[in-house]
Amino acid sequence: MEFTFKNLSAKGLLLSCFAVATMASCGGPEHNTLTEQEKADGWQLLFDGATMEGWRNYNDTVMTQSWHVVDGCIQAKGDGNDASGYIVTDKEYENFELSWDWKLSKGGNSGMLYHVVERPQFKVPYITGPEYQLIDAPNFPDKLEPWQDMAADYAMHIPDSSLMKVNPAGEWNNSKIVFDNGHVEHWLNGVKILEFEAWTDDWFARKNSGKWNNAPEYGLARKGVICLQDHGYPASFRNIKVKELPRKEKEVNLFNGKDLTGWDVYGTEKWYVQDGLLVCESGPDKQYGYLATREYYDDFDLTVEFKQEADGNSGVFIRSFIEEGVKVNGWQVEVAPKGKHSGSIYESYGRGWLIKNDPEKESVLKEREWNTMRILVQGNKVTSWLNGTEMVSLEDEKIGKGQGRIALQIHDGGGIKVLWRNLKLKTL
């Protein structure tokens, strides 16, 4: 804005100068912008200060929730509840620093979630995405557990309350989340108040013994959308910005040769370790059974060895999740008797077979001997090899959008016994 002082009296000039000074002192730095240094460091704004561009309803493509822009802030009207009122970013984020300013109404309750997975099976974002809790604890009407308090990693980790300095309801605060390849930090008003490692034995013990015991996919995603929560109280947000951090590659031995550490069993079929080998065997129920990694793996190079002692109808699921009970939702690289498409790719819901191998390649399978399967998954592309022979290669947009666990399968019908060893993976 350009000011002109022409034709102003001395008193008018003084008042005008006072007004300009007041705006500068009250407003402070311009909000919802980035400095040149922040731009150079890779920060990006998630809110432009004027529109809801870049945000939409959870599990939707449009914005219809009770959020609007007021005075340069994203504001929750307070009409949301446990089942609705969530908005998410258009883009997914994996490793990042996320900073934002916020203020709550008296007794207010809100939250910032990340790594939220959008699928029709997930009705609300918090059953997949961890939450940085925002709550006006001194004025909240109900008694709070420590894991519900301000800046907690909701229902998982409790911040150091001795370090917390929170401005009261109606005043601005700043928070920051750092997620760096599983290392997590919560900051409040410039002070680090919580630090932990995701996906460790301690992390899984907390997940499996508390609120998330019946939410099998909680916190497992390596990437996802960022989510703001309207939990029935007005809340305001501004200066929402993110800096993405690089992914670090690692090598993982999925099977330790001793027990099923790192895996979850689904169904009543048999999974056990014998003589250093992982054994899957049909049980008396003769139903589908799965052994799934407790962690997600998205882009990877996986090598497994298998031996089909009986029947051998099995498979390796990729980017898959547990929908309910023993139902696994995802894509399977087939392991089966000769003539049954080993190395081919099957979708467990919707489309069925996506690609089958050339029948002439079936001869590379060595029945009742050890075989080596290699599966390369990167972006939209999946390629499989069996004993050094490429079986199939597929590019599929739907697979590219998926993420999830690796899971071994026992087919239904009974009579199946397959041995596994040397399950080695390199993340990409």
CATH of the domain at 177: 2.60.120.560
Whole-model pTM? Answer: 0.89
* Assigned token pair, 340: 């049954």
The model's confidence at residue 298, banded by pLDDT at 50, 70 and 90, is very high
In a shared domain, residues 108 and 222 = yes
* Assigned token pair, 150: 């301000």
The model's confidence at residue 6, banded by pLDDT at 50, 70 and 90, is very low
Percent over 90 (pLDDT), the chain:
90
Residue 302's domain comprises 251-427
Task: Note whether residue 194 is domain-resident.
Answer: yes
In a shared domain, residues 352 and 407 = yes
In a shared domain, residues 266 and 215 = no
In a shared domain, residues 266 and 136 = no
Residue 326 has pLDDT above 90, yes or no: no
At 13 the pLDDT is 35
pLDDT tens per residue, range 226-235: 999 999 999 9
Check the CA dihedral 252-254-257-260 and report its sign. positive
Give the domain-ending residue among 194, 225, 244: 244
In a shared domain, residues 316 and 378 = yes
At 29 the pLDDT is 62
The model's confidence at residue 377, banded by pLDDT at 50, 70 and 90, is very high
In a shared domain, residues 220 and 175 = yes
What is the spatial distance between Cα 69 and Cα 47, in angstroms, rounded to a whole number?
10
At 4 the pLDDT is 34
Contact present, 362 and 342 (Cβ < 8 Å): yes
Task: Note whether residue 158 is domain-resident.
Answer: yes
Residue 189 has pLDDT above 50, yes or no: yes
Task: Note whether residue 284 is domain-resident.
Answer: yes
Task: Note whether residue 404 is domain-resident.
Answer: yes
What is the spatial distance between Cα 301 and Cα 250, in angstroms, rounded to a whole number?
11
What is the spatial distance between Cα 93 and Cα 156, in angstroms, rounded to a whole number?
21
Helix (H) or strand (E) holding 208: helix 201-209
Task: Note whether residue 189 is domain-resident.
Answer: yes
Task: Note whether residue 393 is domain-resident.
Answer: yes
pLDDT tens per residue, range 160-171: 999 999 999 999
Residue 14: CB atoms within 10 Å: 11
DSSP 30: P
Task: Note whether residue 13 is domain-resident.
Answer: no
At 9 the pLDDT is 38
Residue 306 has pLDDT above 90, yes or no: yes
Residue 12 has pLDDT above 70, yes or no: no
In a shared domain, residues 218 and 78 = yes
Listed in sequence order, the residues at least 6 apart from 180 whose beta carbon sits closer than 8 Å to its beta carbon are: 95, 245
In a shared domain, residues 234 and 286 = no
The model's confidence at residue 323, banded by pLDDT at 50, 70 and 90, is confident
What is the spatial distance between Cα 291 and Cα 406, in angstroms, rounded to a whole number?
9
Give the domain-ending residue among 216, 244, 272: 244
pLDDT tens per residue, range 349-358: 889 999 999 9
* Nearest residue to 285 via CA among 407, 410, 412: 412
Instruction: Name the strands in the sheet holding 405-410, side by side, starting at the edge strand that comes first in the sequence.
Output: 263-266, 289-296, 405-410, 314-324, 327-335, 345-347, 352-355
At 16 the pLDDT is 33
In a shared domain, residues 223 and 320 = no
In a shared domain, residues 237 and 289 = no
Give the domain-ending residue among 184, 213, 244: 244
In a shared domain, residues 187 and 49 = yes
Contact present, 112 and 177 (Cβ < 8 Å): yes
As for how many domains the chain has, the answer is: 2
In a shared domain, residues 62 and 138 = yes
Task: Note whether residue 256 is domain-resident.
Answer: yes
